[in-house]
Amino acid sequence: MKTLRGLLGIDTQREQYAYADDAHAGYVSVQRLADRWVKTTCGYCSVGCGMSLGIRGDKAVAARGNPDHPVNSGKLCPKGLAEHHAISAPGRATHPMLRRNGDWSRVSWETAIETMAAEFRRIQERYGKDAIGVIGTGQLVTEEFYTLGKLVQLGLGTPHYDGNTTLCMATAVAGYKRSFGSDGPPGAYEDFALADVILLLGANIAENHPILCRHLDANPRKTLIVADPRVTKTAMMADLYLPLRPRSDLALLNGIAHLVIREGFVDRAYIDAHTEGYAELCAFLERYTPEYVSEITGLTPTKLHQVAVLYGRSKRGMIAWTMGVNHSSIGVETVNAINNLALLTGNIGRPGASPFSITGQCNAMGTREAGFTSSLPGYRKFESEADRAELAALWRVPVERIPAARGLAYPDIIEAALAKKIRGLWIIATNPVVSFPNRDVLRQALDNLEFLVVQDGFHPTPTSELADLVLPAATWGEKEGTYTNSERRVSKVNRAVAAPGEARPDFDIFLAVARQLGCADELFPGWSSPREAFDEWRHVSGGRLCDYSGITYELLEQHGGIQWPYPADTIEDPGAARRLYADGQFQTETGRARLICGEWKPFPEQPSSDFPLVLNTGRTVEHWHTRTKTGAIPILDTLSPRAWLEMNPRDARALGLRPHERVDVLSARGAVRRVELRITEIVAPGQVFMPFHFVEWNVNAVTQSEFDPVSREPNYKQCAVRVETSAGANS
Ligand code: SF4
C-alpha cells in the first residue's frame, strides 16, 4: 500500500517528518516532542555538560543542553545530542543470566545474587580472600563508587579492586600525588578563558571534549600552542603547532624548563616559598639543551625557544593534557614535568594559571575521590596510619580492616588471573575485551577464571559473552546520583525513566550483594537510596581536599554543579570558580610542592625491519569507548560506521597502497584485518593512526603489555606494526 501511495506521489513520510511546538525546545520533530523534561548531566565524557532529557510517556525522546549550566551554556556535542537513544538502544541487558554447562539461562535476582556470593565464598575459602578481584569503571555515580569501595574492601575482604580509570587517568592521579601530595586537578574551566598562553599537550579536545573548545573560543587574547604528533582537529586550531615525534613530550617539557630557567623566566619568590628540589632540578635539566631536545622531538631549537618565551613570559600560563601524555610508560614523569613548569613559573592556584588534566569518563573523578582504588575515600593515603585510623573511626570498624596498601592495579589483576592467583572476577560497566591492551593475553586471563561476573547495562557485549553470570544494570537516565567533572564540579544525575525488564541500578545490586554476604547492616545501615550514601560521603570527605560537606542535592539542582572543595561553612557563591593551592600550601608532609626530575626514555617497542611503522591510537567524536552505546545509536553509527587506518602518502606510495583499500595491521602480537586505509598528511611519515572503539577492528589485538611502573597505565600510544594489503582486498 505504501509503495502504491509512493508511486502515486502521496507523501508517505508525513508522520515521520511532522513538526510541532515544544514549550522548552521550540519547533521540533514530533518524534522528539516531550511531555516533560528532566534535568541531568551528560553520561559520556568528563566535560560534564548539563542537559535535560525529554520524556514522552515512559520513553526518553530527546536531549538538549541546559542553557543555565556553567559548563556548556546549553550546547552539547553529537554524542550528548543523541544520548536519549542510548537508553532504548538494542542490546540492553534485561534479566540476570546464568551460564550452566555452556548454556545461558534466565534466572531470578535471588538466584543470581545467591550464586555469585556462593561462588565467591567457595573461591575465597579454597584460595584465600584475595583470590577475588573487582574491575570497575568511571561511569557509575559517586554514591555507587563509595558503596562499592566499602563493599569490596570491608565486605568481600579483598584489596584487589581497580577501575578502567587506570587505562585512562591513573597517570594524572599518580603525577599529582608525587608533585602536590594529593590527587585533584588544580584548575577550573574558567582558566581556558583567562589564560594568555595555553599549551595543549596530547589533547585532541576538538574530537574528544568538544564543548571545551567553547571555553577556548571565549578567550580571544590567548596564544594556543598544540603539541601532538598528529595534525588533529585541535592542532588545526593552534596559533603554534608543534609536530613533535611520538612520545617525545617529556623531553619537550624538560627542554622548555631548561630554557625557562636559563632565560630567567622563573618565579624565584614562588619557588623559594612553596617548592622543594629546585637545585636538583636545575642540575638535572642542564643536559636538556635545545640541541639535545631538538634531536629527540624533531622540533627546531628556534621553535623550542619560541615556546619557552611564550610560556615563560605569560602572566597566566595553562598546560592541559589528556591521553597523549597519560597513555605512556613514562606518563607519570611527564605529568611531573608539566607540574614542574607550572611551579617554576608560579602558574598554579591563580585564575588562568594551572596544570590541568582533562579527564576521560563522566565520573572518573568520582571513583578517584570516593572509591577505594588508588586512594582511600577522601584522597586518604593507604600508607598513612593517621588516615586509616580516621577512616576506621568514621566507619566505626577496627582499623585492621582498612588496608595499609592498595591492592593490585587493573593490569596486575589481569596478570594475577593469568597466573591463576585471581580465580573470581567481578567486572562492572566496562568492556576489557575491547579496551585492554594485548587482547589475546586478556582473553587467556579471563579464560583462566573459575567464575566471572559481568554487571552491565548491555548484554551481550564482547566481555559479557564470556561471563558465567550477567547482572543487568540500569544505565544513565535510569538512576540517581552525582558525577564530578574534570574541573572538580559535582553535578546531579537524575532518573528520568524506568530501567528495562528487571535491570536494577548498580547501587541496588551492591546492597543486594551486601545483604547476601551478611554485611549490609554493618556497612550500610538503613540505606535504601543513593541519598544515604551521599550523606555519609559528605561526612567522610569533610575536612579533606575534596570536601563535599557543604554540598547537598538541593544546592546542586539549584546551581547546576558546584566545584569542590565546598566545606559546610562556605559562604561564597556556590557557582564561583574554585582552584586548589591558591595559598601555596600543598598536601605533602612539608606543605611544599615537589620539583621532580624525570628522565626521557624512548618508547618501549621501536620500529624494526619487520614492523617499521609506529601505531598511534585514539578516538573520534561520534563514538564513546567500545561503542557499547554509540554503536547502537543509528545516527552516530552512520556517521562513523567503521574503523580506519591513517597513513602518510609517502608510506602509502612506498607500500603501493591505494586510498580506501582494505589493509591488515600486524604487530608481534596479532593482527587487525581488513581496515579501511585513509591516505592523509594528518599523520607524519613512519606513523599510522587507528581509532580504538571498534571490536570488529580491535586495535588492541596489536597493542602491547607495557605499563607505567608507577600508575600502571598502558603505553597504548606507540607500538611497532607493518601494514599489508588484505587478502582479497580487491574482491
Ligand atoms: S562534550 Fe562530553 S559531556 Fe558534553 S555533551 Fe559531549 S560527551 Fe557529553
Ligand 1 atom nearest the C-alpha of 80 is: 5
Contact between 471 and 516 under an 8 Å Cβ cutoff? The reply is no
Cβ within 8 Å of residue 10, ≥6 positions away: none
Distance between CA atoms of residues 304 and 251, nearest Å: 11
Using most ligand atoms within 8 A of CB, pick from 40, 47, 139 the residue to mutate for ligand 1: 47
Of 237, 231, 183, residue with least CA distance to 212: 237
What is the CA(49)–ligand 1 centre distance, in A? 6
C-alpha cell at 363: 565520573
What is the CA(419)–ligand 1 centre distance, in A? 39
Contact between 457 and 92 under an 8 Å Cβ cutoff? The reply is yes
Cis peptide before 210 (omega within 30 of 0): no
Ligand 1 atom nearest the C-alpha of 81 is: 5
What is the CA(312)–ligand 1 centre distance, in A? 33
Ligand 1 atom nearest the C-alpha of 47 is: 3
Residues lower than pLDDT 50 in the chain: none
> In this structure, are strands 36-41 and 26-29 parallel, antiparallel, or unpaired?
unpaired
Sign of CA dihedral 377, 382, 384, 386: positive
Contact between 178 and 334 under an 8 Å Cβ cutoff? The reply is no
Distance between CA atoms of residues 493 and 38, nearest Å: 10
Ligand 1 atom nearest the C-alpha of 624 is: 7
* CA Rg value for the chain: 25
C-alpha cell at 702: 596489536
Q: List % helix, strand, coil for the chain (3-state, nearest 5).
A: 35, 20, 45
C-alpha cell at 309: 618565551
In sequence order, what E strands does 120-203 have? 132-136, 161-163, 197-201
**Helix (H/G/I), strand (E/B), else coil: 99:** strand
Distance between CA atoms of residues 67 and 80, nearest Å: 14
Distances in Å between the Cα of 362 and the Cα atoms of 423, 484, 493, 517 are: 30, 7, 11, 30
| DSSP β-bridge partners for residue 317 | 197
Closest CA to ligand 1's atom 6: 77
What is the CA(48)–ligand 1 centre distance, in A? 6
Cβ within 8 Å of residue 539, ≥6 positions away: 394, 549
Distance between CA atoms of residues 93 and 377, nearest Å: 31
Q: What is the pLDDT of residue 22?
A: 81
Q: How remote is the C-alpha of 146 from its chain's centroid? A: 18
Ligand 1 atom nearest the C-alpha of 41 is: 3
What is the CA(410)–ligand 1 centre distance, in A? 26
Distance between CA atoms of residues 525 and 557, nearest Å: 27
Distance between CA atoms of residues 468 and 466, nearest Å: 7
Q: What is the pLDDT of residue 609?
A: 97
Using most ligand atoms within 8 A of CB, pick from 79, 207, 213, 489 the residue to mutate for ligand 1: 79
Helix (H) or strand (E) holding 356: strand 354-357
pLDDT in tens, 599-645: 999 999 999 999 999 999 999 989 988 888 898 899 999 999 999 99
C-alpha cell at 495: 532518573
In 151-202, which residue ranges form alpha helices assigned H by DSSP? 170-180, 190-194
What is the CA(50)–ligand 1 centre distance, in A? 9
pLDDT in tens, 13-61: 777 778 888 877 788 888 889 999 999 999 999 999 999 999 999 999 9
Using most ligand atoms within 8 A of CB, pick from 40, 41, 42 the residue to mutate for ligand 1: 42
What is the CA(18)–ligand 1 centre distance, in A? 28
Burial state string for 61-81 with b = 16 or more CB within 10 A and e = fewer than 16: bbbbbbeebbbbbebbbbbbb
pLDDT in tens, 565-607: 999 988 888 988 999 999 999 999 999 999 999 999 999 999 9
What is the CA(322)–ligand 1 centre distance, in A? 15
Closest CA to ligand 1's atom 4: 49
Distance between CA atoms of residues 67 and 63, nearest Å: 12
Closest CA to ligand 1's atom 2: 45
C-alpha cell at 129: 580472600
Q: What is the pLDDT of residue 594?
A: 98
Q: What is the DSSP string of 307-337?
A: HHHHHHH-SSEEEEE-HHHHSSTTHHHHHHH
**Helix (H/G/I), strand (E/B), else coil: 389:** helix
What is the CA(623)–ligand 1 centre distance, in A? 11
Residue 262: CB atoms within 10 A of its CB come to 17
Of 374, 395, 483, 498, residue with least CA distance to 155: 395
Of 525, 570, 212, residue with least CA distance to 359: 212
Protein residues whose CB sits closer than 6 Å to any atom of ligand 1: 42, 44-45, 47-49, 72, 76-77, 79-80, 209-211
Q: 362: which DSSP letter?
A: T
What is the CA(81)–ligand 1 centre distance, in A? 9
**Helix (H/G/I), strand (E/B), else coil: 18:** coil
What is the CA(63)–ligand 1 centre distance, in A? 12
Q: What is the pLDDT of residue 236?
A: 97
> In this structure, are strands 317-321 and 197-201 parallel, antiparallel, or unpaired?
parallel
Ligand 1 atom nearest the C-alpha of 362 is: 3
Using most ligand atoms within 8 A of CB, pick from 46, 76, 192, 213 the residue to mutate for ligand 1: 76
Ligand 1 atom nearest the C-alpha of 211 is: 1
Contact between 484 and 142 under an 8 Å Cβ cutoff? The reply is yes
Using most ligand atoms within 8 A of CB, pick from 51, 69, 211 the residue to mutate for ligand 1: 211
What is the CA(210)–ligand 1 centre distance, in A? 7
Q: What is the DSSP string of 379-404?
A: TB-TT-HHHHHHHHHHHTS-GGGS-S
Residue type, 32: R
C-alpha cell at 394: 568514621
Helix crossing, 249-262 with 331-344: angle to 10°? 20
Distance between CA atoms of residues 320 and 102, nearest Å: 48
Of 317, 334, 318, residue with least CA distance to 174: 334
- Largest CA-CA distance found in the chain, in angstroms, rounded: 85
